[in-house]
């Protein structure tokens, strides 16, 4: 295992780009097992897939593929960069049935999306809940994956995340611009990464009728507590057993922000030990003075690390 502890002093990260826009190239659409799915696909070379975090029906904030706006265009200069909106997020359609409001359905949709794009194997990058998606996807479909990159994923690590505690004082009503600004700023070590462009995109996502439907199902109808969270806990325990007993079938890179208030590094280190137990080609990039969105706070350093990782595993 290699550890790269990036300790950058000062108020603002040296490579932070506060005016970066949301441009990621042409907006494209595909059918992923019957789900209309938005995606972006730019550049040539090694296929690098970005999978964002959050989950459908969240009343903390909305999100989509453009979360990667400061990373995707840079990687697309040298590689084939791909990003898509997960099931029920961004502008991708909601599940067709209540049973689809579960993490296993999100993983199945990700698999169907990668199959529909048809460029396997991929280097797959997942942040937060997306980190669980890429780890589980690698377990279920190793034929689709060349390497796996997990970024600040409390959804994958042992223990509980602090997300609900950290965000419990978000302004009401939820999903307003001020409320989403509060949520993303409390996620972050350097709060100025929460740009107006980022909030604009999230307000567009959260304002869709389908997001309102998903919020109602998850919160008012109780699918979050009755189905999504219990199933995720069961599946995460299953994933941990697999990591310990079998291990990752491909080289794995873990990236973490040491000051992440929700995906705490104490739990992250326990997860890293699970990855290292059976997969010797495991590396860690640990960023000091960095919160949950480390790939935005230290965009240039993250991009350099990801580019070097991909080139190393051509």
The first and second tokens of residue 109, run together, are: 């949709």
Q: Which CATH superfamily is domain 2-312 in?
A: Alpha/Beta hydrolase fold, catalytic domain (3.40.50.1820)
Helix (H) or strand (E) holding 252: strand 252-257
**According to the model, what pLDDT value does residue 10 have?**
31
Residue with tokens 């589980």: 136
Going by their DSSP bridges, the two strands 80-84 and 122-127 should be labelled as unpaired
The first and second tokens of residue 162, run together, are: 């602090």
Q: Where are the alpha helices (DSSP H) in the chain?
A: 72-75, 103-117, 129-140, 163-167, 177-187, 196-206, 209-215, 223, 229-245, 265-278, 294-297, 299-312
Q: Provide the 3-class DSSP secondary structure of residue 32.
A: strand
Cα–Cα distance measured from residue 214 to residue 231, given in angstroms and rounded to the nearest whole number: 17
Q: Rounded to whole angstroms, what are the CA distances from 139 to 53, 103, 201, 270?
A: 19, 14, 32, 19
Cα–Cα distance measured from residue 283 to residue 255, given in angstroms and rounded to the nearest whole number: 9
**According to the model, what pLDDT value does residue 162 have?**
67
**According to the model, what pLDDT value does residue 2 have?**
42
Other beta carbons within 10 angstroms of residue 23's beta carbon come to 10
Going by their DSSP bridges, the two strands 28-32 and 145-151 should be labelled as unpaired
> Do 267 and 259 contact (CB within 8 A), yes or no?
no
The first and second tokens of residue 54, run together, are: 């959050």
The first and second tokens of residue 309, run together, are: 């990782």
Tell me the whole-structure pTM to 2 decimals: 0.92
Query: pLDDT tens per residue, the chain (314 residues)?
Result: 443 433 332 334 444 444 444 589 999 999 999 999 999 999 999 999 999 999 999 998 889 999 999 999 999 999 999 999 999 999 999 999 999 999 999 999 999 999 999 999 999 999 999 999 999 999 999 999 999 999 999 999 998 776 666 777 788 888 999 999 999 999 999 998 899 999 999 999 999 999 999 999 999 999 999 999 999 999 999 999 999 999 999 999 999 999 999 999 999 999 999 999 999 999 999 999 999 999 999 999 999 999 999 999 99
Going by their DSSP bridges, the two strands 145-151 and 252-257 should be labelled as parallel
- Comparing CA positions, the residue from 189, 223, 186, 183 lying closest to residue 203 is 183
């Amino acid at each position: 295992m290699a550890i790269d502890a990036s300790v950058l002093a000062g108020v603002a990260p040296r490579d932070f780009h506060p005016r970066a826009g949301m441009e990621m190239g042409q907006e494209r659409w595909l059918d992923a097992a019957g789900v209309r799915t938005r995606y972006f696909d730019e550049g040539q070379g090694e296929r690098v897939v970005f999978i964002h975090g959050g989950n459908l029906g969240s009343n903390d904030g909305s999100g989509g593929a453009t979360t990667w706006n400061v990373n995707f265009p840079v990687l697309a200069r040298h590689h084939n960069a791909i990003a898509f909106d997960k099931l029920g997020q961004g502008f991708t359609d909601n599940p067709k049935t209540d049973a689809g409001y579960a993490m296993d359905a999100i993983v199945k949709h990700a698999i169907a999306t990668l199959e529909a794009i048809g460029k396997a194997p991929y280097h797959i990058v997942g942040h937060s809940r997306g980190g669980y998606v890429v780890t589980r996807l690698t377990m279920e479909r190793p034929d689709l994956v060349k390497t796996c990159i997990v970024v600040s994923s409390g959804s994958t690590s042992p223990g509980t995340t602090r997300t609900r505690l950290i965000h419990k004082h978000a302004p009401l009503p939820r999903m307003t611009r001020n409320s989403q600004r509060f949520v993303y700023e409390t996620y972050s070590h350097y709060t100025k990464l929460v740009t107006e462009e980022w909030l604009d995109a999230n307000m567009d996502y959260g304002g869709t009728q389908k997001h309102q439907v998903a919020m109602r199902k998850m919160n008012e109808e109780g699918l979050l507590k009755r189905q999504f969270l219990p199933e995720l806990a069961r599946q995460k325990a299953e994933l941990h057993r697999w990591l310990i007993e079998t291990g990752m079938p491909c080289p794995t890179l873990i990236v973490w922000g040491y000051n992440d208030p929700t995906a705490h590094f104490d739990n992250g280190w326990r997860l890293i030990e699970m990855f290292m137990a059976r997969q010797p080609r495991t590396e860690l990039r640990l960023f000091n003075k960095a919160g949950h969105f480390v790939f935005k706070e230290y965009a240039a350093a993250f991009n350099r690390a990801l580019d070097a990782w991909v080139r190393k595993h051509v």
